[in-house]
Amino acid sequence: MVKKIISDFLDSNVFVVSKGNSCIIVDAGAQVAEVEKEVAGRVVEGIFLTHGHYDHAVYALEYAKRFGCKIYCSELSKEYLADGKKNYSEGKFAVRNFSEFEFLNGEGKIALQNLEVEFKQLGGHSRGDMVYKIEHNLFVGDLLIGRDIGRIDLYGGDKQDMIASLESLQKEKYSLMFSGHGGENSKETQDKVTALWLRFLRR
């Protein structure tokens, strides 16, 4: 089961993905009280950040403290999390202590109590873009935003990396794709949108 919370930070999405008596949280832009309502007493097994921009990470440490769990993200996101300019918080958000973090590289799987999380490090929107697949759902952060792609003109963004990421996402098998902003899309719909963006970016 996937519950979406729309945050006050640029309408970024936070997802609570639950199974049985446990859940995980994808991204951390919504206030803790709002997330707690959707957690509904379940054990939170981890917080998974799709990238290090402030609107997706600002409450990560508060979540970790409140729910007693680790924060997972790409190791390449560390520089964003530590720097208020690179994470676009205008200096208002920076992580100083990374003891609650588990950094991920490349691709692999994390087996939790009730859920298995597949992860893949990509790029294009930031150097530390991380995609998570949980059962039949794919969480892509700001690589894709509804029927748009994420900005590639921010620090660490790159057109060729975005092309490679979109090509990789086309090969993924999933039912629904959940983005960092906006609504979710089926694979059939998303593949059509992605194909159009690839034609545009390759010109």
Average pLDDT over residues 97-107: 96
Q: Could you list the residue range(s) of the whole structural domain that residue 142 is in?
A: 2-201
**138 and 132 in contact (C-beta within 8 Å)?**
yes
**92 and 65 in contact (C-beta within 8 Å)?**
no
**105 and 130 in contact (C-beta within 8 Å)?**
no
The model's confidence at residue 134, banded by pLDDT at 50, 70 and 90, is: very high
Average pLDDT taken over every residue of the chain:
95
The model's confidence at residue 9, banded by pLDDT at 50, 70 and 90, is: confident
Number of domains in the chain: 1
CATH number of residue 120's parent domain: 3.60.15.10
pLDDT score at 53:
97
The model's confidence at residue 147, banded by pLDDT at 50, 70 and 90, is: confident
Tell the residue number behind the tokens 């530390």, with chain if given.
128
Average pLDDT over residues 187-194: 94
| pLDDT tens-place string over residues 69-83 | 999 999 999 999 999
DSSP-based three-state secondary structure for 97:
coil
Contacts 24+ apart (CB under 8 A), 62-67: 62/28, 62/32, 63/25, 63/28, 63/32, 63/35, 64/100, 65/100, 66/32, 66/36, 67/25, 67/39
Sheet holding 71-74, edge to edge: 2-6, 13-19, 22-26, 43-48, 71-74, 101-104
Residue 152 clears pLDDT 90, i.e. is over it: yes
Buried b (16+ CB within 10 A) or exposed e, 108-136: eebebeebebebbbbbbbbbbbbbbbbee
pLDDT score at 200:
94
Average pLDDT over residues 183-203: 94
| pLDDT tens-place string over residues 54-68 | 999 999 999 999 999
Beta carbons within 8 Å of 47's beta carbon, 6+ residues apart: 24, 25, 26, 28, 60, 63, 64, 67, 69, 70, 71, 72
- pTM score, two decimals? 0.96
Residue 191 clears pLDDT 80, i.e. is over it: yes
